[in-house]
Structure 1
Amino acid sequence: MTTIVNVGADLFADAVAGQAVDVERVDWRPPMPGTEADLATVAADPRRQDANRRALEAVLGVTARLVDVAPASEVLGLQRGEFLHAGPPIDWARASGPLRGGLMAGAALEGLVEDPEDAVALFEAGSSVSLEPCHHRATVGPMAGVVTPSMWMFVLEDPATGRRTHCSLNEGLGKVLRYGAYSPEVLTRLRWMGDVLGPLLQAAVRASEPVDVTGILTQMLQMGDEAHNRNRAGTLMLLRDLAPAMVRSGLEVADVAEGMRFVGANDHFFLNLAMPACKLALDAARGIEGSTMVVAMARNGTDFGIQVAGTGDEWFTGPAQVADGLYLGDYGPDDANPDIGDSAITETAGIGGFAMATAPAIVRLVGGTVPDALATTRRMHEITLGENPRWSVPVLDFQGTPTGIDVTRVCRTGILPQINTGMAGRVAGTGQVGAGLVTPPAEIFPQALARLAELARATSSS
């Protein structure tokens, strides 16, 4: 029996298949332009193979547990006038609309201004405020990712090492700070979260055994969640674990009831635990010299940046892209801001868009089809170093999720990481306008590859 192998264009394969001959199609693409020499240099680096093995093992060896809930001023040391934000470093002059809106809401929340609109002058002057990426403080933030000193934070810990990561509490969808909204209802909700929800969660977490966040992620991926834009099962499992301690907290019955209602009605609540769990795992691979594994993908609404295990804390950036997806109400592409948020840390760890096959219902939110979701998960295996046996995909015979994005594989295949994401309005104050699918700007991977090649040459000549 004859089998034809076709590489590249399908024209020849279609013609042969039309003659009842078996054809094996290979989806081959040339490397990204200009990367050939750097790919050869990095491939010859004697450290690479072992470094990537150790990086992947480090990531897979981490377990994340929720051990505390407390204000950012306590757990991060944030001072008055200090603001964290999503994505790589940026200043006010280049900040996108939703990031500006989130900062304006944060300034009003902290009492730096009475009216959020007055915060514009405050940030333009810059003398009494500072901006810093969440990632620089062992933190991640969804969408605008704005963190201020009074905001309450989830605290996750790896029991084997004691390393910790953090994330703010999830506000829900629509007109919320993380989407750049700053209306009175936004501030009222945030103040309630600070006065009631934060203390309630703190009391419950401190009175319970640490919540196994990694374990919940394992279960929810088999229950139709992918842990980025679908977190329904994860949220309800978290509520199951904390509800008894919340009831026994001794706080006002009405406050306990409202807190439980808020968490249970907010399908995205667990996202703010999935994100720091992924960061906790990926941070274990940071600083492994010679490793080509991506340890962070993050967006600030203007720039998309990545960090790599073997290049320290350096950011490689390019322009953030507008997602392709579904819009709310009368909103359309002209209303959407380019991609924003630290939540792509989920894809970096192998879930979210990489695990869309576990959550076929996600296509009703972000667009595409169920076959697209299955194909996406399969395709991401081509650019990753391995699989995560904890996080498996039932419909793919429980294959582990693709884990450990490899800069060299991205440059060699031209396949970009797939991210599913919410879309914020480009004008400050708008809120959420939709959800969709997006990829990083292609040029940031050759940037990272060039730096890896430079380091490899320096090592070989020393």
Structure 2
Amino acid sequence: MVDVVSVGTDVLADAVAEQAAGVERVDWRPPVPGTEDDLATVALDPLRPGANEQALAAMLAVQARLVDVRPAGEVLGLEPGRFLHAGPPIAWEQASGPLRGALMGAAALEGLVEDPEDAAERFARGDFTLEPCHHHASVGPMAGVVSPSMWMWVLEDPASGRRTHCTLNEGLGKVLRYGAYSPEVIERLRWMNDVLGPWLRVGVTQSEPVDVTGILTQMLQMGDEAHNRNRAGTLMLLRDLMPAMIRAEGDQSDQADLAEVVRFVGANDHFFLNLAMPACKLALDAARDIEGSTMVVAMARNGTEFGIQTAGTGEEWFTGPAQVADGLFLGDYGPEDANPDIGDSAITETAGLGGFAMATAPAIVRLVGGTVPDALATTRRMREITLGENPRWSIPVLDFDGTPSGIDVARVCRTGILPQINTGMAGAVAGVGQVGAGLVTPPAEIFPAALAALAARTRARVR
């Protein structure tokens, strides 16, 4: 029996298979056009192998622990009129509908305007400042808006003392992070500031630090992928925090508040997402500023642009137009109602979760579309563009292999395979809220742009 290896087109492979010969099909594609010289330069960089090994090891070594919950004004020094947002930097003039809606609602929450609609003119006038969450050791889902009074999780790596932060999750539907700002949205946020945040702080500060990395390890073996499915993670978090909260409860009003806190968290399957995200950022930030490394350390979207950062290019963003996700829609909504991709939550995929771990959460296809075989194939395909795997985050159905981790710009350009992200979809018009969920990839051009910058640094260094 003759075995044949077929590379590229299936015509030859099909012909051989029809003659009962063994065929090994290799899914080879030519490099992204225009990247050949930069790929050759980076491939010959003597620093690259060691730098990528260092970056991946640094990311995998981080242990994220939940150590506090406090208002953003305290932990980040945010002052009235300063707002953080998801994705790379953006001005009000370029901001999408959901980002504008979230900013307007946050301005009303802070008492800077009486009516959220009145905030638009003040943002346009430059009365308020906008800065990316990523520039403040933070991440935010969807619009990712952070204002001073919002309570934030505080995660810490005990080995280095570095910290990252994220706001509390509001739930799904008409919520601020999807751009909604109706009175009930603002009322819920005020309850979160007045009741939810303080109660969570009791649970966090009067317990041993919660091992968020450990919960991620467990939840991946329980059907979560830590981006759009966080059900097991949320319940494990409640398990860890509730004893201290119950011990601290006082009069009947406290008891009623605590009951509402437990109900709110337990009914919100996405609640743990806002801990998974800063845990991933904490890990990836450990890999920053490693000369010669081609590993991606951030993927983020502001609803207008999609940006990435790499370990070897510092704080520079490489951006392109954000894409509209392909997926399932709520009610009568359709693709024409959806805003392009938005949010810092792609930090989960950057670390090897979310779309990269879909094989461990096949039920996710009921939310984002596709089939169970698609989910398995996606995780396998992501191995083609990553530097290694995370042994902590194993996938039972793939014989407990670790999730693909450490996106490599060079491998993306060499294969043409783009990172797979599963995501929620916000309505394009400010105030609408969520319209669906689906699958999306970054704009292809941002990886060659990052590769060109890495190649330029290599050429300057080896001259």
TM (norm. structure 1) is: 0.99
Q: C-alpha offsets along residues 311-364 of structure 1, whole Å, 9 cap, x if unaligned?
A: 000000000000000000000000000000000000000010000000000000
Q: C-alpha offsets along residues 120-148 of structure 1, whole Å, 9 cap, x if unaligned?
A: 1110101x210000000000000000000
Give the AA of the match of 2:364. I
1:369 correspondence with 2:371: yes
1:125 correspondence with 2:125: yes
Give the match for residue 322 of structure 1.
324
Give the match for residue 35 of structure 2.
35
Q: CA deviation at 1:439?
A: 0.2
Query: Residue 391 of structure 1: which of 390, 393, 415 is its match?
Result: 393
Structure 1: stretches of 5+ with no match in the other structure: none
Give the AA of the match of 1:459. R
CA distance in 2, matches of 1:143, 1:193: 18
Q: C-alpha offsets along residues 220-262 of structure 1, whole Å, 9 cap, x if unaligned?
A: 0000000000000000000000011111223500000000000
Count, aligned residues:
460
Query: Residue 301 of structure 1: which of 279, 290, 303 is its match?
Result: 303
Q: C-alpha offsets along residues 73-124 of structure 1, whole Å, 9 cap, x if unaligned?
A: 0000000000000000000000000000000000000000010000111101
Give the match for residue 201 of structure 1.
200
Give the match for residue 348 of structure 2.
346
Higher alpha-carbon deviation: 236-245 or 12-21: 12-21
Give the match for residue 231 of structure 2.
232
Moved over 4 A (4+): none
Structure 2: stretches of 5+ with no match in the other structure: none
CA distance in 1, matches of 2:112, 2:248: 33
1:378 correspondence with 2:377: no
Q: CA deviation at 1:19?
A: 1.4
CA distance in 1, matches of 2:244, 2:12: 65
Give the match for residue 135 of structure 1.
134
CA distance in 1, matches of 2:91, 2:139: 18
Q: CA deviation at 1:16?
A: 1.3
Give the match for residue 424 of structure 2.
422
Is the CA contact (8 Å cut-off) linking 1:200 and 1:249 kept in structure 2?
no
Q: C-alpha offsets along residues 406-451 of structure 1, whole Å, 9 cap, x if unaligned?
A: 0000000000000000000000000000000000000000000000
Q: C-alpha offsets along residues 388-418 of structure 1, whole Å, 9 cap, x if unaligned?
A: 0000010000000000000000000000000
Give the AA of the match of 2:208. E
Q: Secondary structure at the match of 2:248?
A: coil
RMSD (Å) for aligned C-alpha atoms? 0.5
Q: CA deviation at 1:14?
A: 1.1
Give the match for residue 172 of structure 2.
173
CA distance in 2, matches of 1:247, 1:168: 23
CA distance in 2, matches of 1:23, 1:247: 63
Give the match for residue 5 of structure 1.
5
CA distance in 1, matches of 2:384, 2:369: 23
Give the match for residue 182 of structure 1.
181
CA distance in 2, matches of 1:245, 1:302: 42
CA distance in 1, matches of 2:166, 2:66: 11
Give the match for residue 436 of structure 1.
438
Q: Secondary structure at the match of 1:140?
A: coil
Give the match for residue 63 of structure 1.
63
Give the AA of the match of 2:305. D
CA distance in 2, matches of 1:11, 1:40: 30
Q: Secondary structure at the match of 1:4?
A: strand
Give the match for residue 88 of structure 2.
88
Q: CA deviation at 1:21?
A: 1.0
CA distance in 2, matches of 1:247, 1:231: 24
Q: Secondary structure at the match of 2:123?
A: helix
CA distance in 2, matches of 1:100, 1:196: 27
Q: Secondary structure at the match of 1:153?
A: strand
CA distance in 2, matches of 1:242, 1:204: 5
Give the AA of the match of 2:125. A
Q: CA deviation at 1:263?
A: 0.3
CA distance in 2, matches of 1:418, 1:249: 44
Give the AA of the match of 1:158. D
Higher alpha-carbon deviation: 214-223 or 7-16: 7-16
Query: Residue 256 of structure 1: which of 252, 255, 258 is its match?
Result: 258
Is the CA contact (8 Å cut-off) linking 1:307 and 1:313 kept in structure 2?
yes
TM (norm. structure 2) is: 0.99
Q: Secondary structure at the match of 1:364?
A: helix
Q: CA deviation at 1:375?
A: 0.3
CA distance in 2, matches of 1:249, 1:52: 47
Give the match for residue 212 of structure 2.
213
CA distance in 1, matches of 2:395, 2:171: 27
Give the match for residue 450 of structure 1.
452
Give the AA of the match of 1:417. P
Is the CA contact (8 Å cut-off) linking 1:67 and 1:157 kept in structure 2?
yes
CA distance in 2, matches of 1:181, 1:19: 60
Give the match for residue 291 of structure 2.
289
CA distance in 1, matches of 2:362, 2:203: 33
What is the percent sequence identity of the aligned residues? 81
Q: Secondary structure at the match of 2:32?
A: coil
Give the AA of the match of 1:299. R
Q: C-alpha offsets along residues 245-293 of structure 1, whole Å, 9 cap, x if unaligned?
A: 1112235000000000000000000000000000000000000000000
CA distance in 2, matches of 1:315, 1:66: 29
Give the AA of the match of 2:370. G
Is the CA contact (8 Å cut-off) linking 1:84 and 1:131 kept in structure 2?
yes
CA distance in 1, matches of 2:421, 2:204: 31
Q: Secondary structure at the match of 1:226?
A: coil
Q: Secondary structure at the match of 1:166?
A: strand
